[in-house]
Structure 1
Amino acid sequence: MPSLELKDGGCCFFLNAYGKNDGEVPEELRKFLQFIKANLEEREKDFEDSYVKQLQDSRLKIKQDREAEEQYMSLALNALLMDERDEGKVEGIAETVLEFLNALGTVTERQRSAIRSEKDLSVLKRWLRLAARADSLEQYLLDAEWKNY
């Protein structure tokens, strides 16, 4: 397996989750790469691998821990807003809101359009916090006080 030696003595391996040589890859690595390329729904299945199981358990624990989720969202929001003068920030936050909402349910084109056309940064920040905490799309729409959407 090709590797890149680093100045500190470490090695860097390049892995391809979409490789075509399954027979040349150790079983544990093959299962890990399958997990990496899986979509959210597929990542819940049993990969019959202890390391992948640890990753799944850690992901579930973080997902269930609202405080950790809020801290993560706060860090993510701060990273997005470090330079509010940057023109792409508004679009970035809007797209992040849509990512969270897509995970909760089917977002209508009208809802997408409303989020993408919002230019008030404080409104987008509020929507992002609500989307990160919502358990369902319906809850988000209620909490965000969206009417007729």
Structure 2
Amino acid sequence: MGESFQKLNLTNAYLFAAAMQDEEICRNVLEIALNKRISRVKAHVEQVLFLDSEFKSVRFDVYASDEEEVSYDVEMQNDDTKNLPKRCRYYQAELDVTSLRPGEDYQQLKPGYIIFICSFDPFGKGRCQYVFEEYCKEADIPLGDETQKIFFNTNGTDTENVTPELLHLFEYLKQSTEEVAVRHQDEKILKIHERVKYLKRDRKLEAGYMTMEEYIHQEAERRAKLMAESMAESMAESMAESMAKSMAESMAESMAASRVAQNILALLEDLGTLPDQTKERIAKEQNEDVLSAWLKLAARADSIEEFQSKM
């Protein structure tokens, strides 16, 4: 089961994207990251469920533009997928296609930043940031296409050309607590923390996170089921194939039901103390439709009593 929503840090892509939808928070993060003044931004989040072979990754792209018509694509990255340079190329193409209208001259293309905030070192040099621009190899002449690809390493040790405020942001991203937020009394960090506290009280946002986590676990269990069925087929010589498949399906269904039951209990813990009898009833339930209905009810309920009366 994934980490509790209440304990998430801002390195979590889901929570980070939710916070960045607040345009003031988005502006503060960009100002700290780029060390420049930004008067105003418009931001929106485009969610793409991007699952790797082990179901570890979820991508939430944050797109923003400012009053100077500069475009920003920001993503929190926790898994080293080994493809970030090519993804930068693709994301820049996406920004360019959407910013140039039919018939407009190429000079109308907006300046663009592709920004990855990584919880690992993408290039293995220990730096806190890696900034890439297009240059001529022979004459060191800038191409002048007004694009930058920036990779931040929140665990970097080489702090050359890095502001203290950026290092504080890295601290807060990794440990989004009151203690870290107030440590250096940075006004922007404090504003970000107030927003994070507000988001963690949002029951709908928590339910969305748990639904996403449940989907990822279901996909993992589906893969486990396929593997179990494959094993059952190879064991067909020593036992009846139908019996082996039945066992695999039963195990997978039991695992899925147990996962949903855990999510229901986690939501209800926020509402108060749940009677043992109700806990036992939830834990023993195997019907997927019933568990799904209870999960939605737990996300909407305002009290244990309300949940019990409607379950």
Q: TM-score range by the shorter chain?
A: 0.5 to 0.7
2:279 equivalent to 1:112: yes
Q: Specify which of 144, 150, 153 is matched with residue 13 of structure 1.
A: 153
2:212 equivalent to 1:76: yes
Matches of residues 55-134 of structure 1 in structure 2 within 5 Å?
55-57=193-195, 60=198, 63-64=201-202, 72=208, 75-76=211-212, 79=215, 83=222, 86-87=252-253, 88-134=255-301
Residue 104 of structure 1 aligns to a residue whose secondary structure is coil
2: CA distance between counterparts of 1:89 and 1:58? Answer: 31
**Deviations 1:97-136 (CA, angstroms, capped at 9, x unpaired):** 0000011111232222111101111110110000011111
Q: Classify 1:27/1:58 alpha carbon distance in 2 versus 1 (closer, same or farther; 3 Å).
A: closer
Aligned residues: 125
Matches of residues 128-143 of structure 1 in structure 2 within 5 Å?
128-143=295-310
What does residue 23 of structure 1 align with? none
Larger radius of gyration: 2
Higher strand content, 1 or 2: 2
Unaligned stretches of 5+ residues in structure 1: 16-25, 145-149
What does residue 3 of structure 1 align with? 121
Unaligned stretches of 5+ residues in structure 2: 1-119, 125-131, 133-148, 156-166, 226-248
Q: Which amino acid aligns with 2:195?
A: D
1: CA distance between counterparts of 2:260 and 2:200? Answer: 22
Asked whether the 8 Å contact 1:130–1:140 carries over to 2, the reply is yes
Q: Classify 1:52/1:135 alpha carbon distance in 2 versus 1 (closer, same or farther; 3 Å).
A: farther
Q: Which amino acid aligns with 1:13?
A: N
2: CA distance between counterparts of 1:30 and 1:77? Answer: 25
**Deviations 1:51-76 (CA, angstroms, capped at 9, x unpaired):** 3532542562585585x667x27953
Higher helix content, 1 or 2: 1
- CA-atom RMSD in angstroms: 4.1
What does residue 54 of structure 1 align with? 192
